[in-house]
Each structure stands twice: as structure tokens, then as C-alpha cells.
């Protein structure tokens, strides 16, 4: 906005002589015969000074910081594990071995199973574990135990068991000492000497002689 301040110079009106009471004489003189002098009016205008514009301070924009969430780190890897496969047991009969005798023909050995997994970790923590495949890395071996069933008969004998001497121990499904607590079905009166395998368990104290008490 501009402001104008005007200065008005005073006007000096100089009258030479006395002014006549009447005016407007065509000759331009007063009634007294004296000329009238009219001072001109001069108006001097002084331009107002325009104040310098004050610069408006510029506000620097503050950058807005947006928090960015950390993205989880996911990794996967394959893991191999081994499991034990227990061996099985099997019993077979052998008629070439004396009845009641036992022996391990084949020693059992455990096997091994291999399992492959895919494991996923998120920021180092396990989240999933998926089985991809499994296979037998080592086959187990079955343990085999043989039990003898052979009953030998001496030529011309009356059916006495050759595992004993001193008395005739009959060949039967089971033999007990006479006068004892056994329930047979066959019995023998001792004492008898064990010369083979004590398949009837007549020598309870293991001194080599059965039915001696």
C-alpha cells in the first residue's frame, strides 16, 4: 500500500494598495485606482517513501520419518537323522542237537534308519520340520537260537535215555525222580549220573548226580 503525504505550501496573498469595496472592475483596478495583484497558488506534492518490504521468514520443512518394521529372516536347511532299528529274535529246532540244548546260531545286530528333514527357521528359531524321505541305511540282523530235539537210543536198550547212567531213565516227554514232587508222566529211581545233557532236570543241585536225595 502506498501512502501519499501532501504538503501544501502557504499561499501569500499580497495586496498592493487597498482593496476596493467593490470588485470585478473591468479595468482590473480597484476603486482607488490601484491595480490588484493576485498571488498564484502552487501545490507541491512530496511522494511518500515506500517502506521496504520485510521478507517473510521461510520455515524449513521437517522431514517426516516413517518407522519401517524389520522384515523377518527366513532360512531353510536339510537335516539328516539316524534311528535304531532293533533286531528281532527267532527260535528254531535242531534235531541234530540233544533234546533241550540251546545255542545261538546267529547273533542279532541292530539296523539303522536314515531320515531326511527340511527345517525352517525364522530369525534363528525353528518353526517347521517336514520329513522329506526315510530309508534303511543298514538292515537289522535277526538273532537265531536253536533248540535241540534229538533223542538218542542205544541199540538193544529198553528205551533208556543215553544222557544218564546208573539207572534207566525212560525216554518220555518228562521224567521225575520217584518219591519227589514231580508229576511225571515217567519216573526214575536214583541215583543217576548225568553223562550228557540233563534234559529232565534231575540234577537239581548241579553236582552231576540226579535223584540222589
Per domain, the residue ranges of the chain are: 1-48, 74-147, 154-213
Is the separation of the CB atoms in 182 and 191 below 8 Å? no
- Residue 8, pLDDT score: 42
pLDDT reported for residue 117: 97
By the 8 A CB rule, do 129 and 77 touch? Answer: no
Count the Cβ atoms, other than its own, within 10 Å of residue 175: 24
pLDDT of residue 82: 96
Helix, strand, coil percentages (3-state) for the chain, rounded to 5, are: 0, 40, 60
CA atoms within a 13 Å half-sphere pointing along the CA-CB vector of 127: 10
Integer Cα distance of 163 and 200 in angstroms: 10
Q: What is the pLDDT of residue 65?
A: 58
Q: Which of 107, 127, 109 is nearest to 118 (CA)?
A: 127
Q: What is the pLDDT of residue 180?
A: 72
- Residue 110: predicted pLDDT: 97
The cell 540282523 sits on which residue?
141
Q: Give the CA angle between residues 210, 199, 144 to the nearest 5°.
A: 150
Count CB neighbours of 188 within 10 A. 23
Distance between CA atoms of residues 151 and 159, nearest Å: 10
H helices of 149-202, where? none
Does the domain at 74-147 match CATH 3.40.1030.10? Answer given as no
The pLDDT profile of the chain, 213 residues, written as one tens digit per residue, is 444 444 444 444 433 344 444 444 444 444 444 444 444 455 555 555 555 566 666 666 665 656 678 899 999 999 999 999 999 999 999 988 888 889 999 999 999 999 999 999 999 999 999 999 999 999 999 999 999 988 765 544 457 888 888 888 888 888 888 877 778 788 888 789 999 888 898 888 888 888 877
Amino acid at each position: 500500500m502506498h501512502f501519499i503525504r501532501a504538503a501544501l505550501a502557504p499561499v501569500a496573498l499580497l495586496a498592493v494598495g487597498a482593496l476596493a469595496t467593490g470588485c470585478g472592475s473591468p479595468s482590473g483596478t480597484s476603486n482607488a485606482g490601484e491595480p490588484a495583484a493576485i498571488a498564484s497558488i502552487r501545490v507541491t506534492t512530496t511522494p511518500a517513501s515506500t517502506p521496504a518490504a520485510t521478507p517473510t521468514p521461510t520455515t524449513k520443512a521437517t522431514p517426516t520419518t516413517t518407522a519401517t518394521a524389520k522384515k523377518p529372516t527366513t532360512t531353510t536347511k536339510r537335516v539328516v537323522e539316524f534311528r535304531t532299528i532293533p533286531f528281532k529274535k527267532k527260535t528254531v529246532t535242531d534235531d541234530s542237537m540233544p533234546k533241550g540244548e540251546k545255542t545261538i546260531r546267529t547273533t542279532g545286530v541292530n539296523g539303522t534308519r536314515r531320515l531326511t528333514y527340511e527345517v525352517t527357521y525364522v530369525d534363528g528359531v525353528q518353526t517347521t520340520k517336514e520329513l522329506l524321505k526315510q530309508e534303511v541305511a543298514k538292515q537289522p540282523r535277526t538273532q537265531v537260537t536253536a533248540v535241540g530235539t534229538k533223542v538218542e537210543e542205544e541199540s538193544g536198550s529198553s528205551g533208556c535215555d543215553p544222557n544218564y547212567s546208573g539207572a534207566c531213565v525212560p525216554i518220555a516227554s518228562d521224567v521225575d525222580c520217584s518219591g519227589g514232587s514231580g508229576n511225571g508222566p515217567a519216573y526214575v529211581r536214583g541215583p543217576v549220573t548225568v553223562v550228557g545233557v540233563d534234559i529232565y532236570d534231575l540234577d537239581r543241585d548241579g553236582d552231576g548226580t540226579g535223584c540222589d536225595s
